[in-house]
Structure 1
Amino acid sequence: MMVDAHLDLAYNALELGRDLTLPLAELRRRDTCSEVPLVTLPALREAGVGVVFATLWVDPRRYPTPEEAHRAALRQLELYLRWEEAGWVRILRRRADLVEHRVRWQQDRAPALVLLIEGAECVRVPEEVAFWWGHGVRLIAPAWNRTRYAGGTREPGGLTPLGQELLWAMQAQGVALDCSHLDEAAFWQALAVFGGALCATHSNPRALLGGEANPLANRHLSDAMLRALGAREGVVGVVLYNLFLDPAWRRGQPRLPLAVVGRHLAYVAAQVGWERVGLGSDFDGGFGLHEAPLGLEGPADLGKLAGWVPEPHRPGVLGENWLGWLARALPA
């Protein structure tokens, strides 16, 4: 069973108008977006991707207020629930759900979703964490760019006082912390106040991306951040976006070779151990086929990445490391 720890499924369906219940080839024939889609629910099933961390991601440029973001996130949640009711997916809420899913998946190959809020503006006040937890959310990433809670990508800064309250509410409720997109100052403050399960669902090593000279440096993880995640038993999902694999790459240029992904996997493993390395493709998270490495035409090709992983660790990187993390992070 493979695991992809970051897909913006509901965003693609609702904001881009993509029918993700279609076969991937059919969606590509119908799609009018500039980025060629990489994911549909049938494609995940056929590929053997058994678990997906599925986001509630609300674009702050389109929904700039907490109330607008809240309503948009609810629409995404409702879509996931409709997919579950129709049998397209299962939503994992507790450890027992994961155990049951691993048995059922052998027969039906229906992917399971772990619901993740990316960028927490839809959480109107920290006390609302309990509401989202009750509706199935099991991870929250406080930042995307800067939010009311924390500094983020391109917009540095630490935790705000409201951000500390959010983390306290998350820990009290048993919601895990996704550190992806957190600015480094906010990251260290978060680790100091948050004692629950944490991870980075879709982040790459800063050292391979130009270090501090990269304008997107704070989107990526420093070596110290990687080691801190490993020390807290956090798993790091490597992103499969060309710009986050090679800072010199630009849209319209040839796709990068898969070996570049291998370098990122190995670098993360050198900091945290192979048992803490996973995949967080972010396929369709603002990019598509031509912005992904050559050879990754859809979920079915994720297994190719095993060729850059030492043989004993291949099942872990492709899925078992994330499954082990979920077995610890999901509530009993």
Structure 2
Amino acid sequence: MLGRIMIVDAHLDLAYNAMLGRDLTLSLGALREQDPLTDRATVTFETLRRGGVGLCLGTLFAMPQDAAHPWGYEDWQGARAQAQRQLEQYLRWQDHGHVVLLTSGQEVVEHARRWSADTSPLGVVLLMEGADPLRAADDLPYWAGAGVRVIGPAWKRTRFAGGTGESGGLTERGEDLMVAMRELGVILDASHLAEEAFWQAINLQPKVIASHSNARAIVPTDRHLSADMLRAVAQLGGVTGCVLFNKFLRAGWERGDARLPLELVGEMLHHLAQEVGWDKVGLGSDLDGGFGVHELPRGLESAADLPRLAQLLPDEHREQVMGGNWLKWLGAQL
């Protein structure tokens, strides 16, 4: 642990994994024995607790239909059904004391004040990753009323914006959504936005973070943010969360390659800090976000190992990056 500071992870696909059949209430060993997915799991409520993770941005992520996911959504109604199912999962977990949904900065501050690694439920701020579950901007009040406080308009391309691997700007529907988000105080997550859409979006909704993005200068694909994009998020006060996927830490790494050294996470964090300052950098691990333990750097066997990242950071910035920066931002802006 890091003294009294809890770790904050700005991107975990908890309910999506549950939708696919993973029971996060099990011990990690028990989950791995019956895991229906091929990627070796790293996240359970037990491992998060052992790792000192007290708060996360938990996603509502609807998977679009493709060859690998023939069950994915074909229209907004299908995307909405997936997101609604995941929302209900968070509510069930809350009923059983595994999580507590946080919807305001005051609730975040109070959760952090009372948090105990041994006894507290995991604090969850809901993040919709990919906006296709929304019919249109006029649907936003429903989701905000249900607790969604952050929306990333894209994953790949959506009806709202160009996204990873599928370039393009905001659609007319996307522009309307940015205005509605600004008016309702729903935060923009810039991760996965195509570059053209990114610049349009932050002009319309400047309350922005990048929940799980790395530096394009190190891994040069459109999945990551250029130096100008990183600085724009920081200049608007937002924090960027570092992703721990090997493919996002070293250019050219592919699944099946040997696991990378943990020190590469430190190199990415230092690079991000060089661009935006240590006060604008945090974690957005994306653990179990379509990859498992074999796609993580050596030394990260589960979420329980996240405290090991602290040793990669300057002493004076450890608590900030491991949780303090996100806590400060969420406490002030949520």
TM-score by length of 2: 0.94
Matches within 5 A, 1:85-164: 85-106=95-116, 108-164=119-175
Q: Equivalent of 1:78, from 71, 88, 92?
A: 88
Equivalent residue, structure 2, for 1:219: 223
Compute the displacement of 1:105 (Å): 1.6
Report the equivalent of 1:66: 76
SS at match of 2:217: helix
Name segments (4+ residues, structure 1) moved above 4 Å.
none
Give the one of 3, 7, 10 matched to 1:2. 7
Q: Would the aligned equivalents of 2:125 and 2:148 in 1 still touch at CA under 8 Å?
A: yes
**Amino acid of the residue matched to residue 107 of structure 2?**
D
| SS across alignment from 1:108 | coil
SS state at 2:115 partner: helix
User: Does the Cα contact within 8 Å between 1:46 and 1:109 map onto a contact in 2?
Assistant: no
- Structure 2 residue runs of 5 or longer lacking an equivalent are 1-5, 66-71
How far off is 1:301 after superposition? 1.1
Paired letter, 1:4: D
Contact 1:230 1:271 in 2 (8 A): no
Q: Which residue of the other structure, out of 245, 252, 257, is the alignment partner of 2:249?
A: 245
**Which residue pairs with 1:214 in the alignment?**
none
**1:249-304 per-position Cα deviation (integer Å, ceiling 9, x unaligned):** 11111100011111110110011100110000101110000001110111121111
CA distance in 2, matches of 1:310, 1:223: 22
CA distance in 2, matches of 1:170, 1:65: 22
Offset at 1:117? 0.2
Structure richer in helix, relative to its length: 1
Unaligned runs of at least 5 residues, structure 1: 212-216
8 Å Cα contact 2:244-2:296 kept in structure 1 = yes
CA distance, structure 1, for counterparts of residue 109 and residue 214 of structure 2: 30
Distance in 1 of aligned mates of 2:224 and 2:39: 23
Match of 2:236 in 1: 232
Distance 1:297 1:49 in 2: 15
Q: Does the 8 Å contact 2:21/2:36 carry over to 1?
A: no
Quick one: distance in 2 between partners of 1:325 and 1:117? 18
- Listed one character per residue, the Cα deviations across residues 223-264 of structure 1 (whole Å, up to 9, x for unaligned) are 000111110111000000011111211111110001111111
Matched-pair identity in %: 52
State the distance in 2 between where 1:67 and 1:103 align: 40
Instruction: Give the letter aligned to residue 281 of structure 2.
Output: V
Q: TM-score with structure 1 length normalisation?
A: 0.95
Q: Distance in 1 between matches of 2:163 and 2:205?
A: 17
Matched, 1:25 2:29: yes
Distance, in Å, in 1 between the alignment partners of 2:97 and 2:114 is 12
Task: Quote the offset at 1:13 in angstroms.
Answer: 0.5
Q: Distance in 2 between matches of 1:204 and 1:64?
A: 30
Distance in 1 of aligned mates of 2:205 and 2:108 = 25
Match of 1:116, SS state, is: strand
Post-superposition CA distance 1:59-111 (Å, at most 9, x none): 01111200111111101000001111111110101122112212332262321
The whole-number CA distance in structure 2 between the counterparts of 1:155 and 1:22 is 37
> Residue 273 of structure 1: which of 271, 277, 283 is its match?
277
Q: Which amino acid aligns with 1:13?
A: A
Over aligned residue pairs, what C-alpha RMSD do you find?
A: 1.0
Q: Aligned-pair distance for 1:113?
A: 0.3
Q: Distance in 2 between matches of 1:104 and 1:157?
A: 44
Letter in 2 for 1:282: D
Indicate which of 182, 192, 198 corresponds to 1:171: 182
Q: Which amino acid aligns with 1:245?
A: L
Deviations 1:30-71 (A, max 9, x none): 213210001011211222100011000000111120011111
Alpha carbons 1:203, 1:221 under 8 Å: kept: yes
Distance 1:3 1:297 in 2: 18
Pick from 246, 252, 258 the counterpart of residue 262 of structure 2: 258
**Number of aligned positions between the proteins:** 322
Q: For 1:163, what is the secondary structure of its paired residue?
A: helix
CA contact (8 A) 2:11 2:284 kept: yes
Q: Distance in 2 between matches of 1:308 and 1:116?
A: 28
> Is residue 189–residue 210 contact of structure 2 (8 Å, CA) maintained in 1?
yes
* Amino acid aligned to 2:249: L
